[in-house]
């Protein structure tokens, strides 16, 4: 996007009045008929009334990355010259600089490009182009370069760094863009979580000039340089592209707006000023929150969105079904989905009494061709859409695109018929509105690009236009004018901004708040607080009002307003807003403790959660808070059966690592089973305090049979530390009571679940220990046929189905992971049945065996592991940690064996080809059973439909984005190509333990890792000696050794069929 004049003229096709959420919508079926068009080897599905053609051939352009129109109508394209065989890292490309820019021209105006000129070469990895005059801004992380053609020959011989982001991470997500906004400023995005420090524009109240952040951001900067202005923030992995509506509102597309679960991952969002999006993690700490994280406008799943553009309207023969609710249609977003090989269409709508957009998603262009990877979209002046397909070269942090370059060279396609190519409206008011929007945009760009000698003469005229436009009858024009007044901090716009605060149009209330936040709040504070009360569930409007307080209100005014608001409505929206702002500014003190406690005790869950977060951040308030709780409830120790409020329990759980709070819980909560089990349940993955173990054990021993179900639920999944002998003994004493149940069998699921409550290091009588091992080490292929077992009576029960037998086995392995084996007969049983342990179970069997084994037993285990197929899946570090007390000779022997078994294959590509030649067509139905089997263990971590775990990527549509070869490589060599979001974290603890898992959440106090499919671990940051990203997938390697070639073929056929 280079010039807003021709762009706006085309953009406003079918354009109606615009006014601006974040409500994700399901994809719907469009009303139009579709047809299939084949170009070369690629088949496209497009609307029947549209046409598509390839407008570049391999001689003109191969492996295009991104493109932009130049002012003369030519197309500037960044071309990859990366060699898939050598696989240079982006850091190595800073040295080799293999890439280039080319200019494509259409000399005869037939819509196809026919000439090519290399205008810049020797470039590091290019990720964005913006053409301005004779200059080109090129993003090539870590810099944005300004390339200039000084002699008019079309070649950019002059290069200067326009912006230095200073960081370059492995996936090169550090920079995307640049884009020219309708305000004339240059925008770009920062992702990848590397820390950057920049000088930023300062607001009226915020005086810090230095900005340090690891989060993702949308930034902007004056074309002539200077400080940067942060626009929005997020925890997403890759903030890829940005598109503007004619009213100046911004949208972005990004990957990993959510931690991948249940099909949620990527999306499109409205980049409201100051907003913060997911995914939630520690990089967002310190950034001002106005409430919960913003929701995406459209959910995309694992799409890897790579390009985004706005379109004002569709051709009249392209009708969409009605939205179902009364809203204004505001235009469309088109999104290029790299992983899913399609272009999606998103209809934007909103209601005037709401500040947020809604989106309905429809398929537009799609292909089943795995190596069709759309990465960019451009609107040409004739209304056609250029689709940039990068082909199959891209293999950087993206397992879906490692295709043979010779058959996937990419190219540029032109889609016609989506628009009419001209404005269809005959409404004079709308035509006039379009002209006013165009005039305002162009004047803004001209003003910003003027030099120092021109600017004084233009300034008054330009600002007058902006102020006049703020009184326009069109909400779209007013919204755009407000964006400009806000950016320039026009003090003269105060009166109109104050009027907009009470506008019936919620988007204009949002715009007024943004201006007041930027220019500084004076007498408008009470009206802003009133509007916060009225905003209710409108998250976008509420955000903008609260963010205005963050930027523009003084501490003194906020503190004074808090006094009155707290008296009128202590847990009301305005009070909470004031507490948010003051907490961010670190201006809350002990005198506010009781007020925050009232917020924490509120009935509304979101309100209560916010109060709990503030209290947790102020441990110095503990005395006052505990005293207030005692006063409000009398003396709970006199009435141990009274259950405290849910919020009180949550607060105590969050502060449970504090000795004073832990003791308070002993005195008030651990004297009755009801309250004791309630506080245990609130701990989540936090460890049970050492001081609680004795009173918990006492309550457990004294519990009645009716109370045992409470204990079973409360103790499930608890994390224990310290001396656990009392709770171990209490649970051991309880087992005979459970076993005495006439309906109980030592191998029944209910009985096993009780044993599974035992903390780590627990012991069982030898007979029970052997029975647990008998269930755990049963042949998984014979679970449904007990007669196939060595001991047919062990599991035989005609009333029990296969699913319960599998569940028994899973629970038995959980028990084994906590047991301290007492019997040599148990170790013998493990050796005899080691081949029945699956890839996820083998480490548990080994670690249980090694806890108190002899030297001879260690040697026997090592011998048993030789030649065992699943040995390839082991983690050497974890096994060696169990052997740290053995002699150096024994440790070295094990180390050599483990390194031999787990050594990566250096010839991955050739080995994959060998296996490809052996694969059979496969049976998808049989593959489903392999997917769920303990051999493959796929469903322990991956979900297809409603079946499976949530640790790894959802595979419900994996066949849509991965080829047969891709799937095979991922199974054979899971660490060969890791997606960034599934790169595990490895930490070394102060006691020498190594823990590895996927990062779930992070705070200054703790790190939470998903260490297995059903287990999370909370690690206090104080216990961490070293932390690093792991290059080894948590998915076990060597699965091919667990399956026959028929089973492997069936599994791949099942995954290929998952679309």
- List pLDDT tens digits, range 477-524: 999 999 999 999 999 999 999 999 999 999 999 999 999 999 999 999
Task: Confirm if 144 and 166 have CB atoms less than 8 A apart.
Answer: no
Band the pLDDT of 1032: cuts 50, 70, 90: confident
Q: Which domain holds residue 257?
A: 4-416
Task: Confirm if 66 and 388 have CB atoms less than 8 A apart.
Answer: yes
Rounded-to-integer distance, Cα 414 and Cα 525, Å:
52
In a domain, 931, yes or no: no
User: Is pLDDT above 70 for 642?
Assistant: no
Band the pLDDT of 618: cuts 50, 70, 90: very high
Give the DSSP letter string of 804-872: HHHHHHHHHHHHHHHB----HHHHHHHHHTGGG--TTTHHHHHHHHHSS--HHHHHHHHHHHTT-GGGG
Provide the pLDDT for residue 781. Answer: 67
Provide the pLDDT for residue 845. Answer: 92
Closest CA to 122 of 110, 140, 106: 140
Task: Confirm if 980 and 237 have CB atoms less than 8 A apart.
Answer: yes
In a domain, 830, yes or no: yes
Provide the pLDDT for residue 171. Answer: 87
Task: Confirm if 342 and 42 have CB atoms less than 8 A apart.
Answer: no
- 609: CATH: 1.25.10.10
Q: Which of 7-16, 113-122, 654-663, 1017-1026 has the lowest mean pLDDT?
A: 7-16
User: Is pLDDT above 90 for 1052?
Assistant: no
| Same-domain pairing of 130 and 205 | yes
In a domain, 862, yes or no: yes
Residue 142: cis peptide before it, omega within 30 degrees of 0: yes
* CA 921 from centroid of its chain's CA atoms: 35
User: Is pLDDT above 60 for 660?
Assistant: yes
- Total domains in the fold of the chain: 5
Rounded-to-integer distance, Cα 453 and Cα 235, Å:
42
Closest CA to 756 of 683, 819, 678, 680: 819
Dihedral sign, CA of 627, 631, 633, 639? positive
Provide the pLDDT for residue 827. Answer: 94
User: Which pLDDT tens digit goes with each residue over 98-146?
Assistant: 999 999 999 999 999 999 999 999 999 999 999 998 899 999 999 999 9
In a domain, 930, yes or no: no
pTM listed for this prediction:
0.84
User: Which pLDDT tens digit goes with each residue over 341-383?
Assistant: 999 999 999 988 999 999 999 999 999 888 899 999 999 999 9
Strand partners of residue 345: 334, 362
> Which residues have a Cβ under 8 Å from the Cβ of 1015 and sit 6 or more positions away?
717
For range 760-773, the mean pLDDT: 90
Give me 667's structure tokens: 């005195």
Task: Confirm if 551 and 531 have CB atoms less than 8 A apart.
Answer: no
Rounded-to-integer distance, Cα 546 and Cα 577, Å:
6
| Same-domain pairing of 730 and 746 | no
Band the pLDDT of 1037: cuts 50, 70, 90: confident
| Same-domain pairing of 998 and 967 | yes
Rounded-to-integer distance, Cα 917 and Cα 1000, Å:
39
Strand partners of residue 999: 1009
* Helix 455-469 with 475-488: angle, nearest 10 deg: 140
Q: Which of 636-645, 676-685, 760-769 has the lowest mean pLDDT?
A: 636-645
* CA 633 from centroid of its chain's CA atoms: 41
Q: What is the mean pLDDT of the chain?
A: 86
Q: Which of 903, 934, 962 is the last residue of a domain?
A: 903
| Same-domain pairing of 746 and 695 | no
Closest CA to 396 of 261, 304, 277, 299: 304
| Same-domain pairing of 534 and 440 | yes
* Helix 622-632 with 593-600: angle, nearest 10 deg: 60
Dihedral sign, CA of 885, 891, 897, 899? positive
Closest CA to 373 of 12, 743, 65, 55: 65
Q: Which of 343-347, 417-421, 801-805, 1026-1030 has the lowest mean pLDDT?
A: 801-805
In a domain, 924, yes or no: no
| Same-domain pairing of 377 and 467 | no
- Name the helix (H) or strand (E) containing 43: strand 42-47
Burial of 1015 (0-12, 13-18, 19+ CB in 10 A): middle
Q: How far apart, in Å, are the Cα atoms of 152 and each of 1, 118, 122, 326, 1018?
A: 22, 14, 20, 54, 62
Q: Which of 589, 621, 653 is the last residue of a domain?
A: 621
What count of residues does the chain have?
1059
| Same-domain pairing of 512 and 642 | no
| Same-domain pairing of 896 and 954 | no
Dihedral sign, CA of 422, 424, 425, 428? positive
Alpha-carbon torsion angle 39, 337, 12, 442, nearest 10: -110
Task: Confirm if 102 and 44 have CB atoms less than 8 A apart.
Answer: no
Rounded-to-integer distance, Cα 1047 and Cα 900, Å:
26
User: Which pLDDT tens digit goes with each residue over 422-447?
Assistant: 554 555 666 788 899 999 999 999 99
User: Is pLDDT above 80 for 631?
Assistant: yes
Closest CA to 649 of 695, 604, 600, 614: 600
Q: Which residue has the tokens 């080490």?
A: 777
| Same-domain pairing of 715 and 776 | no
Give the max Cα distance, the chain.
Answer: 96
Rounded-to-integer distance, Cα 855 and Cα 494, Å:
82
Give me 874's structure tokens: 């082991």
Task: Confirm if 279 and 191 have CB atoms less than 8 A apart.
Answer: no
Q: How far apart, in Å, are the Cα atoms of 767 and each of 746, 770, 771, 774?
A: 10, 5, 6, 11
Strand partners of residue 412: 388
Q: How far apart, in Å, are the Cα atoms of 481 and each of 52, 332, 471, 623, 736?
A: 38, 22, 9, 52, 76
- 45: CATH: 2.120.10.30
Provide the pLDDT for residue 778. Answer: 87
Closest CA to 167 of 122, 211, 197, 124: 197
In a domain, 178, yes or no: yes
Rounded-to-integer distance, Cα 801 and Cα 807, Å:
10
Query: What's the first-to-final CA gap in the chain, in angstroms?
Result: 35
Give me 69's structure tokens: 């129109």
Closest CA to 77 of 147, 126, 133: 126
Q: Which residue has the tokens 């290059």?
A: 1031
In a domain, 220, yes or no: yes
In a domain, 765, yes or no: yes
- Name the helix (H) or strand (E) containing 35: strand 34-39
Burial of 107 (0-12, 13-18, 19+ CB in 10 A): exposed
| Same-domain pairing of 696 and 752 | no
| Same-domain pairing of 868 and 966 | no
| Same-domain pairing of 22 and 160 | yes
Rounded-to-integer distance, Cα 718 and Cα 133, Å:
64
Determine the 3-state secondary structure of 1057 from DSSP: coil
Provide the pLDDT for residue 23. Answer: 36
Determine the 3-state secondary structure of 92 from DSSP: helix
* Helix 593-600 with 573-584: angle, nearest 10 deg: 120
Q: Which of 621, 652, 679 is the last residue of a domain?
A: 621
User: Which pLDDT tens digit goes with each residue over 830-847?
Assistant: 999 998 888 878 889 999
Give the DSSP letter string of 271-297: --TT-EES--SGGGTTSPPSSSPBPPS
Rounded-to-integer distance, Cα 6 and Cα 90, Å:
36
């Amino acid at each position: 996007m280079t010039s807003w004049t021709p762009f706006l003229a085309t953009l406003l096709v079918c354009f109606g009045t615009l006014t601006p959420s974040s409500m994700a919508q399901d994809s719907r079926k469009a009303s139009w008929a579709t047809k299939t068009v084949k170009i070369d080897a690629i088949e496209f599905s497009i609307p029947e009334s549209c046409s598509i053609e390839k407008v570049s051939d391999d001689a003109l352009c191969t492996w295009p990355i991104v493109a932009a129109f130049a002012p003369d109508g030519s197309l500037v394209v960044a071309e990859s010259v990366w060699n898939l065989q050598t696989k240079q890292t982006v850091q190595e490309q800073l040295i080799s600089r293999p890439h280039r820019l080319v200019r494509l021209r259409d000399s005869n105006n037939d819509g196809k490009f026919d000439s090519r000129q290399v205008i810049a070469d020797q470039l590091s990895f290019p990720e964005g182009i913006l053409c301005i005059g004779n200059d080109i801004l090129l993003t090539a992380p870590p810099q944005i370069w300004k390339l200039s053609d000084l002699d008019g020959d079309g070649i950019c011989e002059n290069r200067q760094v326009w912006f230095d982001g200073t960081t370059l991470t492995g996936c090169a997500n550090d920079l995307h863009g640049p884009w020219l906004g309708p305000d004339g400023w240059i925008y770009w995005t920062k992702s990848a979580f590397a820390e950057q420090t920049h000088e930023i524009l300062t607001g009226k109240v915020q005086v810090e000039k230095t900005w340090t952040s690891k989060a993702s951001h949308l930034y902007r900067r004056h074309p002539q340089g200077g400080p940067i202005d942060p626009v929005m923030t997020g925890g997403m992995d890759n903030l890829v592209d940005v598109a503007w509506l004619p009213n100046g509102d911004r949208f972005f597309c990004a990957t990993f707006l959510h931690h991948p679960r249940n099909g949620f991952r990527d999306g499109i969002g409205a980049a409201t000023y100051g907003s913060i999006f997911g995914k939630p993690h520690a990089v967002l700490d310190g950034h001002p929150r106005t409430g919960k994280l913003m929701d995406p406008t459209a959910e995309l799943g694992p799409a890897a969105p790579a390009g985004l553009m706005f379109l004002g309207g569709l051709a009249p023969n392209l009708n969409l079904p009605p939205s179902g609710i009364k809203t204004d249609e505001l235009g469309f977003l088109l999104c290029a989905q790299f992983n899913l090989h399609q272009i999606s269409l998103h209809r934007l709508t909103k209601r005037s009494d709401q500040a947020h957009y809604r989106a309905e998603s429809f398929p537009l262009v799609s292909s089943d061709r795995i190596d069709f990877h759309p990465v960019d979209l451009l609107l040409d002046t004739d209304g056609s859409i250029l689709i940039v397909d990068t082909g199959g070269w891209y293999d950087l942090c993206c397992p879906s695109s490692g295709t043979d370059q010779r058959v996937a060279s990419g190219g540029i396609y032109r889609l016609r018929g989506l628009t009419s190519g001209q404005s269809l409206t005959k409404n004079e008011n709308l035509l006039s509105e379009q002209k006013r929007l165009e005039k305002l945009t162009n004047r803004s760009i001209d003003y910003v690009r003027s030099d120092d000698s021109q600017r004084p003469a233009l300034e008054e005229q330009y600002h007058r236009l902006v102020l006049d436009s703020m009184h326009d009858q069109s909400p779209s024009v007013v919204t755009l004018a407000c964006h400009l007044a806000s950016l320039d901090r026009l003090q003269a716009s105060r009166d109109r901004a104050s009027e907009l605060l009470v506008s019936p149009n919620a988007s204009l209330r949002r715009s007024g708040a943004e201006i007041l936040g930027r220019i500084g709040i004076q007498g408008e504070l009470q009206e802003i607080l009133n509007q916060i009360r009225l905003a209710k569930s409108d998250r976008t409007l509420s955000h903008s009002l609260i963010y205005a307080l963050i930027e523009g209100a003084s501490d003194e005014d906020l503190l004074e307003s808090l006094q009155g608001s707290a008296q009128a409505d202590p847990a009301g929206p305005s009070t909470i807003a004031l507490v948010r702002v003051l907490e961010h500014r670190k201006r809350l003190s002990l005198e506010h403790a009781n007020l925050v406690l009232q917020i924490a005790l509120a009935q509304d869950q979101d309100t209560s959660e916010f109060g709990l977060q503030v209290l947790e951040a102020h441990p110095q308030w503990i005395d006052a808070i505990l005293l207030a709780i005692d006063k409000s409830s009398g003396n709970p120790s006199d009435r141990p059966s009274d259950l405290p409020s849910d919020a009180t329990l949550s607060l105590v759980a969050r502060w449970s690592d504090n000795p004073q709070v832990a003791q308070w819980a002993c005195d008030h909560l651990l004297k009755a089973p009801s309250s004791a089990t309630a506080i245990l349940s609130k701990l989540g993955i936090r460890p049970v305090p050492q001081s609680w173990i004795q009173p918990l054990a006492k309550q457990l021993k004294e519990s009645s049979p009716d109370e045992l179900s409470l204990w079973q639920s409360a103790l499930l999944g608890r994390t224990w530390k310290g001396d656990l002998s009392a709770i171990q003994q209490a649970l051991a004493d309880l087992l005979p009571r459970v076993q005495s149940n006439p309906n109980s069998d030592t191998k029944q699921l209910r009985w096993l679940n009780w044993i599974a409550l035992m903390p780590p290091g627990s012991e069982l009588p030898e007979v029970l220990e052997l029975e647990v091992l008998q269930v755990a080490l049963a042949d998984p292929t014979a679970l449904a046929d007990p007669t196939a077992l060595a001991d047919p009576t062990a599991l035989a029960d005609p009333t029990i189905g296969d699913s319960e037998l599998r569940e028994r086995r899973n629970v038995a392995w959980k028990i084994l992971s906590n047991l301290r084996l007492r019997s040599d007969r148990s170790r013998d049983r493990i050796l005899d049945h080691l081949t029945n342990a699956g890839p996820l179970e083998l480490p548990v069997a080994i670690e249980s065996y090694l806890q108190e084994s002899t030297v001879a037993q260690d040697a026997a285990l090592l011998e048993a592991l030789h030649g065992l197929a699943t040995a390839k899946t082991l983690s050497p570090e974890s096994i060696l940690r169990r052997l740290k007390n053995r002699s150096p000779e024994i440790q070295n022997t094990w180390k050599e064996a483990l390194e031999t078994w787990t050594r990566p294959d250096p010839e991955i590509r050739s080995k994959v080809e060998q296996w490809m030649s052996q694969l059979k067509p496969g049976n998808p139905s049989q593959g489903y059973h392999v997917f769920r089997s303990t051999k493959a263990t796929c469903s322990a971590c991956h979900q297809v439909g409603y079946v499976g775990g949530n640790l790894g990527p959802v595979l419900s549509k994996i066949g849509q984005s991965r080829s047969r070869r891709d799937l095979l490589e991922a199974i054979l060599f899971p660490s060969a190509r890791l997606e960034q979001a599934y790169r595990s974290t490895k930490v070394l603890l102060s006691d020498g333990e190594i823990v590895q898992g996927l990062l779930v959440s992070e705070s200054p106090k703790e790190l939470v890792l998903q260490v297995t499919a059903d287990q999370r671990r909370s690690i206090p940051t104080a216990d961490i000696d070293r932390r690093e990203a792991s290059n080894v997938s948590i998915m076990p390697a060597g699965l091919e050794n667990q399956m026959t070639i028929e089973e492997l073929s069936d599994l791949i056929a099942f995954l290929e069929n998952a679309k």
